[in-house]
Structure 1
Amino acid sequence: MGGEQCGGDPEWKRAFVEFAGRERAATGGKPLEMALATVDLDGQPAVRMVGLRGFLGDEFLRLTKDDSGQWTSGILAFCTHAQSAKVQELEDTSDVQIACWMPHSRVQIRCSGEAHLLFHPDNPKYESQALDIFHRVRPRDGAGGGPADIDDEYIREQAFLHHTPEVQAWYSWPAPGRVRQPDPALYPVSISSIGDQDEAARREAAARRNYVLVFVDVNKVDIVDLGRSTRMLYTRRSDTSWSAVEINP
C-alpha cells in the first residue's frame, strides 16, 4: 500500500506525467489523445476521442495571470463545443472514465471521476454550473495554506488561445452532429482567413462562446505497464489522500 501525496502531487499523477512526457518525446510533441466514455441520453455507452489539455494548475492551465506555477492538482482538462452531444450527456450524468494507450511506453491509463463544465460567461449555463473542484487545488510544494485564487475565465481563455487557428475556427462552425450544410462559408479553415472584418469578429466571438472546458475530478486511476508487466490501482480516500495497491495485469 502507498500512494500518499508527496511534493503536492500523488504518485499516480507523477507516473502519468512521466509516461505522457515520454510519449510526447517519441511522437515529436503530439498531444496525448484519450478515449472519453460517457452515458448518452438513452442510457447507452458513448465513447469518443478527446485531446488532453493537461492538469489544472500546470503549464497554460494556471489559475490566474499572476500564478507563477505554485499550484497543482489531479484535475484533468479537455475541451468541447457547447452544443455537442457530450455536453448534454455530462450534464445528465457527470460520472466519466477516460482511457489512453501509450504505444511507445506500452502503458494504458484509465482515470475515473466526475466531470465539471466551464462555459463562457455569455452562456446561460455559466451560472448554473458551479465548479465545485477548486478545493482540490493545492500548493505544489506540498505546504499548507489557504485556498488558491481562481480566475476561471482566464483559465478557459488561455486554453482556447493554446489551440491552433484551425482548431479555434472549428468552434465557430455550426453545432456538431448536425447535417453538414452546403455553404463552405460556414466552415472557415481559420478565422483570420475571413476577408470581411465584421464577419471575422462575429466568428471569433462565436468560437469563444462555444468553447467549453471540461474538468475531470479524478478519484480512481488504473495504470497498466505492459513493459514491466505491472498494474497499479490508485483510489482517493475520503480525506483526499490516495491509496495504492498492485494488482494483476
Structure 2
Amino acid sequence: MNGLCSRDPEWKKAFVGYVDKESEITGERFPPMALSTVDLDGRPAVRMISPRGFVGDGFLRISKEDKGQWTSDVLTICTHAKSNKVQELVNTNDVQLVAYLPHTRIQIRLGGNASLLFHPDNPNHSSLSLDMRQRVWPRNETISDNKGESDPALVNGCDVELDVEYIREQAYHHHSPVTQAWYSWPPPGRARGADSSLYPTEIPKIADKAEMERYETNARRNYVLIFIDVNKVDIVDLKQSTRKIYTRRGDTTWSVQNVNP
C-alpha cells in the first residue's frame, strides 16, 4: 500500500506523557479505562477494562522482525470470545473509552471504531477490517527523514508488513497466569457451575497433562484482541483548566481545538 501514514499525533504524545506521570505514582503501566458499547437492545453498556497498549509499543511488536522501530496510534484491549461485548462490537463497532488519572487530574476520552481479531480456529477470524499499515510509522522519524526515496520501508510507514496474529499472541503471553486461566473458563455472564474444575486459577498447576493442554488450548482460542482505531480524543486538564479536542481528518492528519472545560 502506498500513501502517507499517521505521524505521532499530538494527542498520543499528550496521552503517553500523562499516563507516564500517573504510573510514576501508581506503578500501573496503563490506567484502567471505562469502555462504552451499545448492547443488542440499543442501550448503553459500560465496563472497566485494562488496555494492553498501542500496537508497536512495549511487547506489542508488529512482527518477529520488529526490533522496536515501529509505533502507532492504534490502542488495544482484549476480551473473552464469548463475552457479551463481542456480539455488541460485531453489531456496532463504535466505541468510547474514558480514563481519569486522579493524581495528575487528567480526563482522557477516546472515540473510535473497534476491530476484533479472533483466534485462527474461530469462524470470525477473517473478519478483521482495519488495515493498520496506515496507522503505523517509524518510531525514530529522524531516520526516515535522512533516507532517500529509494527506501520506502522507512520513508513510508504504510510499506510495512504486520503480523496481526503475532501481535495477538504477544498480548496473550504478557498476561499473568491467573488472567490467562480466566480465558479457559465458561462464557462470562452465565450462571456459575458447581464444578470447580471448570475454573482453574493457573493452568500450569493442573496435574493432568492432557487436561492442562486442553485448558491451555481453550484459553488461547477464547482470547480476542481488539484494535481501537481512534478518530477523536478529548483531553481535560483539571489542574490547568484546559481542554483540547483532537479530530482525525479524512486522511491521516489531525485537527485540534481548544475548548472550554
Q: Does 1:71 align with 2:70?
A: yes
Q: Helix, strand or coil: the match of 2:215?
A: helix
What is the aligned partner in structure 2 of residue 154 from structure 1?
166
Q: What residue identity is the alignment partner of 1:138? A: W
Q: 1:238: how far off? A: 1.3
Q: 1:182 aligns with which of 194, 218, 222?
A: 194
Q: What residue identity is the alignment partner of 1:111? A: L
Q: Does 1:237 align with 2:232?
A: no
Identical aligned pairs, as a percentage?
A: 58
Q: Scaled by the length of structure 1, what TM-score is found?
A: 0.94
Give the whole-Å Cα distance in 1 for the aligned partners of 2:164 and 2:43.
32
Q: 2:220 aligns with which of 208, 211, 215?
A: 208
Q: Scaled by the length of structure 2, what TM-score is found?
A: 0.90
Over 3 Å counting, the alpha-carbon distance change for 1:27 and 1:240 in structure 2 is same
Alpha-carbon contact 1:138-1:147 (below 8 Å) kept? no
Q: Helix, strand or coil: the match of 2:85?
A: helix
Q: Helix, strand or coil: the match of 2:88?
A: helix
Give the whole-Å Cα distance in 2 for the aligned partners of 1:81 and 1:140.
31
Alpha-carbon contact 1:118-1:131 (below 8 Å) kept? no
Of 128-137 and 165-174, the range deviating more from structure 2: 128-137
Alpha-carbon contact 1:35-1:48 (below 8 Å) kept? yes
Query: In angstroms, what is the RMSD of aligned CA positions?
Result: 1.4
Q: 1:66: how far off? A: 1.2
Q: 1:29: how far off? A: 2.9
Give the whole-Å Cα distance in 2 for the aligned partners of 1:243 and 1:131.
22
What is the aligned partner in structure 2 of residue 222 from structure 1?
234
Q: What residue identity is the alignment partner of 1:229? A: S
CA deviations on 1:8-39 (whole Å, 9 max, x unpaired) are 31110000001111111111235411000000
Q: Does 1:83 align with 2:82?
A: yes
Give the whole-Å Cα distance in 2 for the aligned partners of 1:131 and 1:193.
38
Q: Does 1:59 align with 2:71?
A: no
What stretches of structure 1 of length at least 5 have no aligned partner?
A: none
